[in-house]
């Protein structure tokens, strides 16, 4: 991450939402701390009413902007996340905003400059990101696409013949995933847009409306974006106890914690 003139407005801010993910949040912020401070980049953290040790940890950090949100008890998780992002959106004064998850670990801060370059080259670009949450590699990607393609059209065929079948799911991902996504919040605010618009995943309706307004979205390949970072898919859900103890995503979460503990004894 290049050094910026701290007397001028920073080119972007970073925001992440914490909900009962102390260990992940600590790793995520530890990796961001020095690059963000050196470059003068504001880091915003919205705590979504965790009411646990992660809140005390966040309060102890003097280099972040902490927002503590009182969330309704029966609010769906993705809705709570979207509303938390909108609270940060209302407060940032930069033209661009990086969304991150607490289970996103940036090893190379040059990712920010790489993604920002797409916006500086073309002022009509409103978002830059990736539609995949992990880098599966070419063989797994091809297999996943072909199997989903076949299942999609098989279900459509059964329905057309009047047979019972589940609804066909899309075989390609079309929406950016918010584990590391850059948004032009200046354009968003000009158009009265925000992250939580409907009951879908935050950003999905935003992306559809932005494209409908004529703005561009840049899609980065997993091979490109994962050169700079690692992401524990659904790590935040695993950290909050959303999966069983033997679930593969719980095991992935435990493995990444062990790896970082070994690297930072």
Q: How many CA atoms lie within 13 A of 27 on its CB side?
A: 28
Calculate the dihedral angle through the C-alpha atoms of 83, 168, 209, 10, rounding to the nearest 10 degrees.
50
Q: How far out from the chain centre does Cα 143 lie?
A: 25
Asked if 48 contacts 18 with a C-beta cutoff of 8 angstroms, the reply is: yes
248-263 and 22-39 helices cross at what angle (nearest 10)?
50
Asked if 103 contacts 239 with a C-beta cutoff of 8 angstroms, the reply is: yes
Provide the pLDDT for residue 75: 87
User: C-alpha distances in angstroms, 189 versus 126, 178, 185, 202, 209?
Assistant: 11, 19, 6, 16, 13
DSSP string, 110-177: HHHHHHHHHHHH-TTEEEEE-S-SS--HHHHHHHHHHHHHHHHHHHHHHHHTT---PPPPPSS--S--
Instruction: Going residue by residue through the chain, which has 265 residues, state the pLDDT in tens, using 9 for 90 and above.
Output: 644 444 578 999 999 999 999 989 999 999 999 999 999 999 999 999 999 999 999 999 999 999 999 977 788 889 999 999 999 999 999 999 999 999 999 999 999 999 999 999 999 999 999 999 776 666 665 666 577 657 756 677 777 888 887 876 765 678 999 999 999 999 999 999 999 999 999 999 999 999 999 999 999 999 999 999 988 864 454 455 554 566 555 666 667 666 666 555 5
Provide the pLDDT for residue 4: 45
Provide the pLDDT for residue 192: 96
Provide the pLDDT for residue 166: 80
Provide the pLDDT for residue 3: 46
Provide the pLDDT for residue 235: 45
Buried b (16+ CB within 10 A) or exposed e, 129-139: bbebbbbeeee
pTM above 0.85, yes or no: no
DSSP string, 214-256: T-EEEEPPHHHHTTTEEE-TTHHHHHTT-S-TT-HHHHHHHHH
Sign of CA dihedral 178, 238, 102, 21: positive
């Amino acid at each position: 991450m290049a050094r910026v003139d701290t007397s001028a407005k920073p080119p972007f801010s970073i925001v992440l939402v914490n909900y009962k993910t102390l260990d992940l949040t600590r790793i995520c912020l530890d990796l961001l701390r020095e690059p963000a401070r050196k470059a003068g980049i504001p880091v915003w953290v919205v705590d979504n009413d965790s009411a646990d040790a992660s809140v005390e940890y966040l309060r102890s950090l003097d280099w972040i902007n902490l927002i503590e949100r009182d969330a309704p008890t029966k609010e769906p998780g993705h809705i709570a996340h979207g509303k938390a992002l909108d609270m940060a959106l209302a407060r940032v004064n930069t033209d661009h905003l990086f969304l991150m998850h607490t289970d996103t670990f940036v090893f190379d801060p040059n990712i920010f400059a790489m993604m920002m370059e797409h916006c500086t080259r073309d002022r009509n670009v409103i978002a830059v990101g990736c539609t995949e949450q992990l880098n599966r590699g070419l063989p797994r990607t091809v297999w996943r696409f072909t199997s989903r393609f076949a299942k999609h059209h098989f279900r459509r065929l059964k329905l057309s013949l009047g047979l019972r079948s589940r609804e066909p799911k899309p075989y390609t991902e079309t929406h950016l995933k918010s584990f590391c996504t850059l948004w032009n919040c200046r354009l968003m605010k000009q158009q009265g847009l925000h992250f939580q618009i409907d009951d879908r995943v935050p950003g999905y309706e935003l992306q559809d409306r932005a494209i409908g307004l004529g703005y561009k979205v840049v899609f980065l390949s997993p091979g490109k974006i994962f050169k700079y970072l690692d992401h524990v898919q659904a790590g935040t859900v695993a950290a909050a106890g959303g999966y069983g103890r033997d679930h593969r995503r719980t095991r992935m979460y435990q493995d990444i914690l062990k790896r970082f503990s070994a690297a930072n004894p």
